[in-house]
Amino acid sequence: MGQIFDSGNLFLLIRIIIIKKTSKQVKNLLGVLFIIGIMADSHDHIQALKDAICLFNEREIDLVIHAGDLISPFTAREFENLEAELEAIFGNNDGERDGLRVAYKKFCVLDDFKKISVDGIRIALIHGTQPELVNALVASGQFDVVIRGHTHQLSIVNGDSLLINPGEICGYLTGHKTVVILDPGDLSYDVVEL
């Protein structure tokens, strides 16, 4: 295994600094793994969205996943400040789907279910209104990580797949506003209360 800072990489790093690349661009050029921020159930709580986005930007998160219940199209304005890519899905309370699709189209395509791959890690996104579907995704062996929302309860279970429910960022039901930071390299995670 080669050193990260051999003479060629050191020259590249100096060149990057000189042309003022962002730290995210430096990470990508040096082949550092992505870090994923996970949230769900924001339910129009604008200050909680701002707090989560601020945290993700401070931690230099590369991809943010929202597991549903964005609620209103006006919430998309907050994601203008997000420095990471966004993937999001619908939740059961996202009634104005056409408006949400239009508002979020510059960030991502909204749907009820998504399969994505990050650094070779297979991820399923589902809001989770039907526990049997969530359980079937976990047991299928097709996904390394299954991300869900809906219950507003923080839960992380390591089984056939790593099942992550980041809780809620709105704090309406539990009184806790939580997000999860996931390293897809080793599937380690941190829970952060906003």
Q: What is the CA radius of gyration of the chain?
A: 17
pTM here is 0.85
Tell me the pLDDT of the chain (194 aa) as tens digits: 444 555 555 555 555 544 444 555 545 555 555 899 999 999 999 999 999 999 999 999 999 999 999 999 999 999 999 999 999 999 999 989 999 999 999 999 999 999 999 888 999 999 999 999 999 999 999 999 999 999 999 999 998 899 999 999 999 999 999 999 999 989 999 999 99
What is residue 150's predicted lDDT score, i.e. its pLDDT? 98
In sequence order, which residues have a C-beta less than 8 Å from that of residue 27 and are 6 or more positions away?
60, 62
